[in-house]
Structure 1
Amino acid sequence: MVSFRPLTEDEYPAYLDYFIDDYAGEIATNYGLSQHDSVARAKQEIAEMLPEGVNTHGHVLLSLVAPIDQSDRHVGYLWYKPDTMMRSVFIYDFHIFISCQGQGLGKQTLRALEAHLHEKGFKEIRLRVAGDNARARHLYESSGFGITGINMSKSIVGLAEKTP
């Protein structure tokens, strides 16, 4: 069974290394920015969202731990922000390490999170998933999440050249 523990300040640099690289890849793929610009944007956004790192008020950063090979092992990360007024949480990041994927840990984590939040009086879990992330979409949909909207974009670069 997956359990949670607070992400430590010592673990935060490794989290940033993973997150910035992963998020920059998503930015580059979905918004057409260069790798350099995507990394810069990812760094800027996380610095704005988590100015105090693991101690940023109102945000929860967790290490995911699961019993593997007779010992508890760090298997991923979870970052969410509770909204006590709306009794909901928004998941900003959820990652199972690649070496630990395919073992049901994603579904276990979501079930454990749901039970934990329900005990605390929360009523809803929200998140955003990239349109091209089929694996994550499958996990969320098979765990009972429903689509509440669709992000769309259209490039207007070069529009002036096409206009007569």
Structure 2
Amino acid sequence: MIELIPMDDKQYTEFYHLSTTDYAAEKVAAGEWTEEEAMDRAAESFQKYLPNGADTEGAFIYSVFDTEQQKSIGHVWMNITDTPKGKQAFLYDILIYDGNQNKGYGQETMKALDELAIQQGAVRIGLHVFGHNQRALHVYQKSGYVITDYQMSKAL
């Protein structure tokens, strides 16, 4: 069983480093950014969405903790904002660490995020998935997410 546990400062620093590095690599793999600019642009993006780090209002940043093994197996970051259509949650990052994947933790974590969003009054939860990340797309679809739009490109 998993539990979502708020991060302490040390965990947040580790999350920030891992998440910005991963985001930069995903943007490069998607052909959106060059390797040279990727880390700076990832840091700018995080500053935009987490201006006060873990203390940013509406941000929910947690360690995914396996209660049976008594260890952290991943992390998640979700923001919840008020909109004219009600509170909306957006999942910015979910990562189940290497060695813990393909064990059902992703599905359990998605269920826990649904519960958290509902507790916070959210009426909808959204996310973005890179087109090349078929593993994540599969987990999201199994969790009940549907594709709401496509963004496509073609190299010339």
> Is the TM-score greater than 0.5?
yes
AA of the residue aligned to 2:26: E
Separation in structure 1 between the aligned mates of residue 50 and residue 38 of structure 2, nearest angstrom? 18
State the structure with more CA Rg: 1
Which residue in the other structure is 1:153 paired with?
153
Which residue in the other structure is 2:94 paired with?
94
Separation in structure 2 between the aligned mates of residue 121 and residue 40 of structure 1, nearest angstrom? 34
Which residue in the other structure is 1:160 paired with?
none
The C-alpha deviation readout for 1:118-142, integer Å capped at 9, x for no partner, is 3443222110100110000000001
Which residue in the other structure is 2:137 paired with?
137
Which residue in the other structure is 1:162 paired with?
none
Separation in structure 2 between the aligned mates of residue 115 and residue 61 of structure 1, nearest angstrom? 15
| Deviating more after overlay: 25-34 vs 140-149 | 25-34
Separation in structure 1 between the aligned mates of residue 8 and residue 96 of structure 2, nearest angstrom? 17
Separation in structure 2 between the aligned mates of residue 121 and residue 52 of structure 1, nearest angstrom? 22
Closer, same or farther in 2 for the Cα pair 1:121/1:46, shift >3 Å? Answer: closer
Separation in structure 1 between the aligned mates of residue 57 and residue 122 of structure 2, nearest angstrom? 18
Q: How far did 1:27 drift?
A: 1.1
SS in 2 for 1:11: helix
AA of the residue aligned to 2:67: P
AA of the residue aligned to 1:18: L
Specify every segment of 5 or more residues in structure 1 that has no aligned partner in the other structure, as ranges. Answer: 157-164
After the TM superposition, which residues 1-164 of structure 1 pair with which residues of structure 2 at under 5 Å, given as runs? 1-68=1-68, 71-85=69-83, 86-154=86-154
Q: How far did 1:42 drift?
A: 0.7
Q: How far did 1:111 drift?
A: 1.2
CA contact (8 A) 2:3 2:67 kept: no
Separation in structure 2 between the aligned mates of residue 132 and residue 110 of structure 1, nearest angstrom? 20
Separation in structure 2 between the aligned mates of residue 4 and residue 147 of structure 1, nearest angstrom? 26
Normalising by structure 1, what TM-score?
0.85
Moved over 3 A (4+): 153-156
SS in 2 for 1:129: coil
Separation in structure 2 between the aligned mates of residue 53 and residue 120 of structure 1, nearest angstrom? 20
